[in-house]
Amino acid sequence: MINTFSLRKSLLRTQAITIKFLSAVERFLWKTSKNILNFGLGRRINFTAIRKISVPSVGAQIFLNIAGGVLISVGATMIILADIGATTTDVLLTGISHQTGLSIAAASFGLLTILLLLLGCIRAKVGVGTIVIPLAVSTTFIYSFSIIPNPHNFGAQLIYFITGLFVIALGVGIGASAGIGMGAYESICHRIAEGRDWHPQIVRLIWEFIILSIGILLGGAFGIGTLIAAIATGWILKYMNSAIGDYLLGRRIRTNCETPLARGYEYVQSKN
């Protein structure tokens, strides 16, 4: 009798744990699918999903674009050097490099030229950031592979890969936050969706799958890291977006209240 009771109790506990586990997996998959729809599969992110930061001048906005582009390129370089699977666009770039013998930088400039021609042909919206960010990315590729050393063991490869993901997400957040132009991929997909009356997020995902497929066919650096990046980038950007939003809200509260709370500020009341 005691053994039967203990067995039943154990089965109920196992069932409860299983239900919780399956529920957690379901929530993770649902939130991940939303992140992928919102942000995309790799470093070419949906810029309109990034919170904008109010900056005082065009020069400051361009600076954010350049800084973001440099960080994206450094992060992408680290992931490519990690050699466990590149992000979507970098699978294509490494594939082009593999087939033509061009450097990653030259392949990036070539792809950028094709994208700009396509943008012109379909009359897509082009902002300053649409050009500045990918130019900064491609230019940084010229130097990043010679400056950043190759990882010499699997532990270093993992560190490179994880760090690269966060650096890319930081670069995307900084570059897109200026709000002076969509990403090139996003602008093309937005124009296609607008002309066909399709959902822009679905068009972007189809576009990214096409880019990824071409890169794989060309022998690009596809691997388990590509799949991890597709899942993780959206999560990282989601929380980065929240952090940026919290900072902006906190900044407004600190500086707009009657007695600003920000350190270093004093509120001088006029005496009537």
* pLDDT greater than 90 at residue 184: no
- Choose from 34-43, 47-56, 135-144, 258-267 the range with maximum mean pLDDT: 135-144
- Give 199-210 pLDDT, tens digit per residue: 878 888 888 889
* pLDDT greater than 50 at residue 269: no
Measured CA to CA in angstroms, residue 36 lies from 39, 125, 135, 167, 235 at distances of 5, 23, 25, 18, 9
**Which contiguous run of DSSP H or E holds residue 189?**
helix 184-196
Which is more confidently placed, 271 or 35? 35
Q: Residues near 132 by Cβ (< 8 Å), separated by ≥ 6?
A: 62, 65, 66, 69, 181
CA distance linking residue 31 with residue 234, whole number of Å: 10
- Amino acid 238 reads K
- Residue 58 — very low, low, confident or very high, per pLDDT cuts 50/70/90? confident
CB 220 within 8 A of CB 91: yes
Query: What is the percent of the chain with per-residue pLDDT over 90, rounded to a whole number?
Result: 39
* pLDDT greater than 70 at residue 254: no
Give the CA dihedral 241, 243, 244, 245, nearest 10 degrees.
80
Residue among 80, 35, 82, 49 nearest 185 (CA): 49
- The pLDDT of 93-101, averaged and rounded, is 94
Q: Is the residue at 108 inside a domain?
A: yes
Q: Is the residue at 136 inside a domain?
A: yes
Return the pLDDT at 91.
Answer: 94
* pLDDT greater than 80 at residue 132: yes
* Alpha carbon of residue 114 to chain centroid: 22
Q: Is the residue at 82 inside a domain?
A: yes
- Residue 247 — very low, low, confident or very high, per pLDDT cuts 50/70/90? low
Q: What is the full DSSP assignment across 57-80?
A: -HHHHHHHHHHHHHHHHHHHHHHH
Residue among 49, 33, 37 nearest 183 (CA): 49
Q: Is the residue at 109 inside a domain?
A: yes
Give the CA dihedral 174, 222, 95, 110, nearest 10 degrees.
-10
DSSP code of 48? G
The angle at the Cα of 226, spanning 225 to 231, to the nearest 5 degrees, equals: 95
Return the pLDDT at 253.
Answer: 61
Q: Is the residue at 90 inside a domain?
A: yes
* pLDDT greater than 60 at residue 265: no
Residue among 229, 207, 228, 211 nearest 220 (CA): 211
Residue among 214, 226, 208, 209 nearest 98 (CA): 214
CA distance linking residue 212 with residue 87, whole number of Å: 9
Return the pLDDT at 143.
Answer: 95
The domain in which residue 205 lies consists of 55-250
CB 75 within 8 A of CB 168: yes
Q: Is the residue at 114 inside a domain?
A: yes
Q: Is the residue at 42 inside a domain?
A: no
Domain count, the chain: 1
Q: Is the residue at 50 inside a domain?
A: no
